[in-house]
Structure 1
Amino acid sequence: MNLMEHQGKALFRDAGIAVPRSGHATTPDDVGSFIETNPGDWVVKAQVLMGGRGKAGKIKSAQGAAEGRAVAREIMATPMPPNRQNRQGEKINSVLVEERLAIAKEAYCAITIDRAARKPVFIVSRFGGMDIEEVAEQHPESLAKYYVDTAIGYSPFIGRELAFAAQLDPGYRRAFPAIAGALYDLFFRYGAKLVEINPLALTHDGRVIASDAKVELDDDALYRNPGVAEWRTTLPLDEDELLAEGAGVGIRNFRRFPGNVGTMANGAGLAMATMDAVSNAGGRIANFLDVGGANAQRVRNCYELVVNNTGATVFFINIFGGITRGDEVARGIVEAMA
Structure 2
Amino acid sequence: MKLHEYQAKELLARYGVLTPRGRMVEAPRDARRLAEELGAERFAVKAQIPAGGRGQSGGVALVTSPQAAATATQQLLGRRLVTNQTGSAGYAVDKVLVEEALEPSATLYLSLLIDTATASIVILAGPEGSGDIEERVRSGEAHVERLETGAGGEVPRKDIEALAERLGLSRDLQSAFTTLVGQLRTALIELDATLIEINPLAVTTTGELVALDAKMILDDNALFRHPDLNALRDDEDDDKIEMGAQDHQLNYVRLDGDIGIAVNGAGLGLATLDMVHAANGRPANFMDIRTTATSLDVAHGFAMLLENPSVRSILVNVHGGGMQPCDIIADGLGIAMRRTGRSCPTIVRLAGNNAEYARFRFKNFGCKVIDCPDMWTAVSRAVDAAQSAGARQ
The verdict on a shared fold, with TM-score over 0.5 as the criterion, is yes
Alpha-carbon distance in 1 for matches of 2:157, 2:313: 51
1:49-88 deviation per Cα after TM superposition (whole angstroms, max 9, x unaligned): 1222112212112222221111110111312137663442
How far off its partner does 1:185 sit? 0.3
2:245 maps to 249
2:16 maps to 16
1:276-322 deviation per Cα after TM superposition (whole angstroms, max 9, x unaligned): 57569996988533366433x853642675957xxxx9986523424
2:329 maps to 324
Task: Rate the CA distance shift 1:54–1:82 in 2: closer, same or farther, 3 A.
Answer: closer
Tell me which amino acid in the other structure corresponds to 1:56: S
Question: Superposed, which structure 2 residues align to 1:1-338 within 5 Å?
Answer: 1-40=1-40, 41-81=42-82, 85-139=86-140, 142-165=143-166, 167-170=167-170, 172-232=173-233, 235-238=234-237, 241-244=239-242, 249-250=245-246, 253-255=251-253, 264-267=261-264, 270-275=265-270, 288-290=286-288, 293-295=297-299, 298-299=301-302, 301-302=304-305, 305=308, 307=310, 317-320=316-319, 321-325=326-330, 328=334, 332-334=343-345
Task: Rate the CA distance shift 1:250–1:86 in 2: closer, same or farther, 3 A.
Answer: farther
Contact 1:263 1:271 in 2 (8 A): no
Contact 2:254 2:285 in 1 (8 A): yes
Alpha-carbon distance in 2 for matches of 1:286, 1:334: 14
1:236-294 deviation per Cα after TM superposition (whole angstroms, max 9, x unaligned): 3336x14536xx63488433679x89773344xx1344215756999698853336643
Tell me which amino acid in the other structure corresponds to 1:206: G
Query: With structure 1 as the length reference, what TM-score do the two structures score?
Result: 0.81
Alpha-carbon distance in 2 for matches of 1:24, 1:128: 23
Please state whether the residue corresponding to 1:12 is helix, strand or coil.
helix
Task: Rate the CA distance shift 1:115–1:175 in 2: closer, same or farther, 3 A.
Answer: same
Tell me which amino acid in the other structure corresponds to 1:274: G
Task: Rate the CA distance shift 1:109–1:305 in 2: closer, same or farther, 3 A.
Answer: farther
Task: Rate the CA distance shift 1:150–1:244 in 2: closer, same or farther, 3 A.
Answer: closer
Query: With structure 2 as the length reference, what TM-score do the two structures score?
Result: 0.71
How far off its partner does 1:168 sit? 3.9
What is the alpha-carbon root mean square deviation over aligned residues? Answer: 3.6
1:143-174 deviation per Cα after TM superposition (whole angstroms, max 9, x unaligned): 21111133532232232122233x24437423
Point out the more displaced range, 145-154 or 113-122: 145-154
1:78-123 deviation per Cα after TM superposition (whole angstroms, max 9, x unaligned): 1213766344221212111111110222211111111222212111
Task: Rate the CA distance shift 1:82–1:123 in 2: closer, same or farther, 3 A.
Answer: closer
- % identity of equivalent residues: 26
Matched residue count: 324
Structure 2: runs of 5+ lacking an equivalent: 320-325, 347-384
Point out the more displaced range, 180-189 or 271-280: 271-280
Please state whether the residue corresponding to 2:345 is helix, strand or coil.
helix
How far off its partner does 1:128 sit? 1.4
Structure number with greater Rg is 2
Tell me which amino acid in the other structure corresponds to 2:261: M
Contact 1:81 1:90 in 2 (8 A): yes
2:356 maps to none
The structure with higher relative contact order (CA 8 Å, sep 6+) is 1
